Chains A and B, each alone.
Chain A
Amino acid sequence: MTEKPVLYHWEPNANSGKPMLALEEKGVEYESVYIDMLEFDQHKPEYLAINPMGTIPAMVHEGHLLNESTAIMEYVDARFDGPRLRPEDPAARWKMRWWMKYCDQYYAPCASMVAWDMFTGPAVRNKDPEELKARIEAIPLKERRIAWTKAIYGQFSDEELAESRRRVAAASLLFEKNLEQHEWLAGDEFSLADVNAFNLVYILPHMADTMKLPSVSAERTPATMGWLRRMYQRPSVRRTWEHSRGGMHIDIEAEANRQLA
């Protein structure tokens, strides 16, 4: 019996949701530590003592600190017993990794820019201005300091927001083409690519109106909607979402039983 990993995470979505869902799929017990991103808990000294980069999620296991959510998921699959979450066939494994990178470096950052502009920034903007300034200064990585500054003060330009919206629309169509050909993203077998993508794609059907972001919908991407329903039917999603402190706002039962044409 190996030691229980400790996972530091925020709400069970986006990057935090990836290792949470991978651990549940693998059937690994872990100690969950909720880090409230909207309170900037990830930049406080207690957390920086654990992860000096001040990023979430992070996992501590057998004396090692692991970050980079996609690499943590591969670690989970390699290190623990349980169902295989990466295909055995090397070409299918390549495909799994290709789609994870497409999510991590293209699809997710663009959807995230729109969401930060419309949700995360406004959610913290009403704090005391001096306190906000101090909290931004406490962010260790330069890139993250810039990201938070832009979100908090609403500094994304119209051009970059429009480009992000265009990319989300394009990426959702490429996903659709892949899911028209295969049941799961890497082929016939459920894999970490599905875990990765679910944490980004689940919200998109709900962003169409509120965030003026038409991307994933029954009319536009029916194969993706079918894949989302298969994902919502997995018990791992329910267990993962039990860690939410009220930020998910989606009825799992309704999604798992959604009527599709």
Chain B
Amino acid sequence: MISLHINGWTPPALAVAIALREKGVEFAVVEHDWQASAEALEPFAGQLEPLNSLEGEMPLLVADGVALCDSYFILEYLDDRHPAPALRPADAYGQWQVQALARFFGERALPAISSLGVAKRFGGQEWPAETVARFSGAKTITSERRDAWNAAFTDADNESIKAESDRKVALLFERLDKTLAESGGPWLLGEQFTLADIEAFVLTDPFLSGPLGFDGIDVSAAVRTWHDQVGQRPAVKATLANSEPAFVPGPEHSRWG
């Protein structure tokens, strides 16, 4: 049985669960307390990738004896491993489009949404030293991840990061609008529902129907219609029905250029 390890229903965790249900693949969810995120990696220390993932500690999908990390690559794995129904176009150019979008989603949008989610969840409070120490002393995570958790405990309300995140979220909505205008909809790439729709849905849903505000973000009618249509899919409904949205420190904002 495939197992999906999560430390809460973060956007990347939701994306993997939605893809599994779109594929009709049975899976078990193993939910770890977010405070145990670092310890939860210990069983996977035999592999290099899960302990060095740039996305964060979870989600991890354990399948065929391998612990797969980094949610977009898990989605591509699922589409490679379980080809039907196809969630990427059959042609090379369409596949390139999905990958180019994924790069933008993962590198620009996800860090921003994670920062805004972390500000909401972790900000404005004092964290007990024991909680902080579970990350600052953890050997299973990299120094960048220790820094990311430390920043969540001590600097979640950083105004310049919030401003930079708002800018990137605005870029996300702009890009989705442009992509839908170019393809003509109903899905981001046109007639076929793809991994890009899953990724974009979990990134926009916290603003459109979840806990994050979006003051000042211009959301077009086309993007709202698209979001509603994705939300009506049985795989998406089933996933959202059993999950409380959660945020943990996400990937680093690009340091340079």
Contacts and interface: CB of A to CB of B under 8 A. Distances in A.
Given A68-B100, A91-B77, A147-B256, A98 B93 contact: no
Interface in A86-102: 90-91, 93-95, 97-98, 101-102
A250 to B, nearest CB: 26
A44 interface: no
Interface stretch (A28-36, A71-79, A204-212, A235-243): A71-79
Nearest to A100: B73
A170 B143 CA distance: 10
Contact of B54 (A62, A64, A106): A106
Interface in B66-112: 66, 68-70, 73-74, 76-77, 80-81, 92-93, 95-96, 99-100, 103, 107
A109 B64 CA distance: 33
A144 interface: yes
A95 B69 CA distance: 9
B154 interface: no
Interface residues of A, number: 38
A228 interface: no
B52 interface: yes
Contacts of B241: none
B95 A74 contact: yes
A177 B70 contact: no
A98 B67 CA distance: 12
Contacts of A109: 254-257
Contact of B100 (A71, A163, A170, A174): A71
Q: Is the interface of A mostly helix, strand, loop or mixed?
A: helix
Contacts of B257: 109, 143-144, 146-147
Interface in B29-49: 48-49
B255 A160 contact: yes
Contact of A75 (B52, B80, B95): B95
Nearest to A171: B52
A98 B54 CA distance: 10
Contacts of B107: 105
A90 B103 CA distance: 20
A94 B77 contact: yes
A94 B54 contact: no
A74 B96 contact: yes
A72 B254 CA distance: 21
Interface residues of B, number: 31
B214 to A, nearest CB: 21
A164 B252 CA distance: 14
A68 B101 CA distance: 10
Interface in B169-210: none
Nearest to A112: B256
Interface in B115-161: 142-143
B54 A75 contact: no
Given A64-B93, A144-B257, A94 B73 contact: yes
B73, B74, B256: residue with the most chain A Cβ atoms closer than 10 Å = B256
A161 B168 CA distance: 25
A98 B64 contact: no
A91 B68 contact: yes
A93, A101, A113, A174: residue with the most chain B Cβ atoms closer than 10 Å = A101
B61 to A, nearest CB: 9
A178 interface: yes
A136 interface: no
B95 A98 contact: no
Interface of A: 62, 64, 66-68, 70-72, 74-75, 78-79, 90-91, 93-95, 97-98, 101-102, 105-106, 109, 113, 143-144, 146-147, 150, 156, 160, 163-164, 170, 174, 177-178
Interface of B: 48-49, 52-54, 63-64, 66, 68-70, 73-74, 76-77, 80-81, 92-93, 95-96, 99-100, 103, 107, 142-143, 254-257
20 contacts: A71-B96, A71-B100, A74-B95, A75-B92, A78-B92, A78-B95, A90-B81, A91-B64, A91-B66, A91-B68, A94-B80, A95-B49, A98-B69, A98-B70, A101-B54, A105-B254, A144-B257, A147-B257, A160-B255, A174-B52
Given A78-B96, A102-B52, 20 more contacts: A64-B93, A64-B96, A68-B100, A70-B103, A71-B96, A75-B96, A78-B92, A91-B64, A91-B68, A93-B77, A94-B73, A94-B74, A97-B76, A101-B54, A105-B254, A109-B254, A143-B254, A143-B257, A146-B256, A160-B255
